[in-house]
A and B are shown apart, each in its own frame.
Chain A
Amino acid sequence: MTRPTFQIDGKPVTFTEGQTIMEAATAAGVYIPHLCHNPEFEPHGSCKLCTVKVNGRNCSACTFPAADGQEVLNDTAELNELRRTITQMLFVEGNHLCPSCEKSGNCQLQAAAYFLGMTDAHFPFFYPRRELDASHPDILLDRDRCIFCALCVRASRDVDGKNVFAIGGRGIDSRLIVNSPSGRLADTPIAATDKATRVCPVGAILIKRHGFEVPIGERVYDRHTIAEESLEREEPIVEARHG
């Protein structure tokens, strides 16, 4: 029996029933930009960076199931411009001062922006006031850089079984909240070895005393584009999930 197949930018991609477009693309070595998706967790579908055109309609590749005969557009000027605009909006709604951020060079938001050719943020900046939580001895929570991808929420709930994080509020009032009576990280059972401390794509959740360990020029995205790095990291995870 031939395996079901669809096309990405005209290139045939075979897939396993039940895979999303993102998973099938990753397994086939095709990079679709994404931020809130990490193949280790259930998809969330919130950042929309992975927007692709499926049979002419915009869909989130990380949640949309692959189907036989689909025609998917991914690497087009129009979609990449849309993704760049989304990235610019993410930059203006938080406080991203890359030159003084420990995550710089290892940050997926920054690397996606490089990949998409973003040289400015275009929109007026919000400069929101967000609370920093340095209460935990080993973990820093810098909400200025949070992009509400909910990866820490999923990791803490589904892997660590601790339910430490949630996204509270709506729209522009969204904020990352911490599940303890005081609302402080120090009063939760989170530990530096938890999965939830390792999945933040940006510099919002950091392990203390490791900042600026890797010199400029040798950091992850100094040496690889996010396309190269994410395919290398995620392909084996998708393979292990779907065989």
Chain B
Amino acid sequence: MAEKLTIATTSLAGCFGCHMSFLDIDERILALAEVARFDRSPLTDIKHCRDRVDLGLVEGGVCNAENVHTLREFRRHCRILVAVGACAINGGLPTLRNPIALEECLQEAYRDGIGVENPQIPDDVELPLLLDKVHPIHEVVRVDYSLPGCPPSADVIWAFLSDLAAGGEPSLPRELIHYD
């Protein structure tokens, strides 16, 4: 039997919706398990890629220093890197803060906002530093493919994986391209 395709996934500034959508492939995951093996992923709880993987799926944009670090490390391990979902592709809803200064955002959220108790801006050393803007992942690393959608439907993810597993050049048919 040919060697199995290795797949890794990670979630940056996302909501886990894209991972949930991946699981919506339902029983097709059994067919996938025949041809693929999962490496690093929140689904396997493996924290770092063990070696090179064929395919890396990234959910979420880049909003803090830890996201940058994780994404760069992830890119180094992946032969093919895929931006999955609106946040990875264009930053998504977290970019609503981009036209506003970071300081103003923090003050509103943790100090001056309605209903804030014990106002203080979090500054524990354990917390990753926020970037001044939220970025899509293609502004930080090279991206090979993008799967749009919020989240991309299981059918989109499946179409892409099937193309790739079959050894073809993945391409989404027009009717599977959606941004919402």
Contacts and interface: CB of A to CB of B under 8 A. Distances in A.
B145 A125 contact: no
Nearest to B96: A97
B93 A129 contact: no
A19 to B, nearest CB: 29
A125 B86 CA distance: 13
A100 B87 CA distance: 12
A130 to B, nearest CB: 8
Contacts of A113: 177, 179
B177 A128 contact: no
B150 interface: yes
Contacts of B89: 119-121
A171 interface: no
A91 interface: yes
Contact of B178 (A101, A114, A125, A127): A114
A105 B98 CA distance: 25
Given A104-B179, A124-B139, A119 B148 contact: yes
B154 to A, nearest CB: 15
Contacts, number: 73
Contact of B86 (A99, A115, A118, A122): A99
Interface in B115-151: 133, 135-136, 138-139, 143, 145-148, 150
B174 A225 contact: yes
Contact of A119 (B92, B100, B177): B177
B6 to A, nearest CB: 23
B180 A104 contact: yes
A12 B5 CA distance: 50
What 4 A-B pairs have minimum CB-CB distances, sorted nearest first? A99-B150, A129-B99, A98-B179, A120-B146
